[in-house]
Chain A
């Protein structure tokens, strides 16, 4: 995940606004993106470990690996998550 000090976060009902200082871009993110970022944390996780942690922390309505990969791709494209 992007360094916490590079992000400014505001909760807006069902949205979370994330201002990314590095890029100057504000992202409005909705579930499951905030949850994925929280679970990833600063240290990050492997895809398998992320899947496990999400399943442990949340009642997943779907456990589609392709959907999770798509959400991660979005976060990477936005610059909020990086691939190690």
Chain B
């Protein structure tokens, strides 16, 4: 693959293979991450609900812990799950879309505390995978 001269692609004009580059929104890669035994279509498109639907009635405290609804200083659950790409930006110091600074910090702290078995954990773990 790295050495295309050995890739046995016919070079003749009459035998060129057809190739579609695909639509912009299509995907050509599915990544399987070790130890998680799950596939995530893409770290860009995977989603993290805040909080986990199983604990949807709770609010999110500034440190990311879940607290009873309307606890002082806490934030209401996010209306829609956050995309992997947005979370990655937030983990790197950015802000989650549609949130205030403090709200984004609380949500990001919640995401950092995600445990295996919690909705969104696979996506979060995927974001932590080393590249290179």
Query: Which A residues are within 8 Å of any B CB, using their own CB?
Result: 1, 4, 7, 9, 22-35, 37-39, 41-42, 54, 57-64, 66-68, 70-71, 74-75, 77-80
B11 at the interface (CB under 8 A from A): yes
Residues of A close to B31: CB separation below 8 A: 25-28, 78
Contact among A26, A27, A63 with B21 in the assembled complex (CB-CB below 8 Å): A63
Interface size class of B (residues with CB under 8 A): 20 to 34
B120 to chain A, nearest CB (A): 19
How far, in whole Å, are A77 and B127 apart by their CA atoms in the complex?
11
The interface-forming segment of B12-20, B53-61, B75-83, B110-118 is B12-20
Main secondary structure of the interface of A (DSSP, over half): mixed
Chain B residue, CB-CB nearest to A6 = B132
Residues of B close to A41: CB separation below 8 A: 2-4
A51 to chain B, nearest CB (A): 10
Q: Do A62 and B43 touch across chains, with their CB atoms under 8 A apart?
A: no
Contact among A22, A57, A61, A62 with B9 in the assembled complex (CB-CB below 8 Å): A57
Q: Do A1 and B24 touch across chains, with their CB atoms under 8 A apart?
A: no
How far, in whole Å, are A77 and B84 apart by their CA atoms in the complex?
12
Some 19 contacts from A to B, beta carbons below 8 A apart, are A22-B131, A26-B34, A27-B29, A27-B31, A28-B29, A28-B32, A32-B22, A33-B28, A34-B1, A37-B1, A39-B4, A58-B18, A60-B21, A61-B21, A67-B21, A71-B21, A71-B28, A75-B29, A77-B42
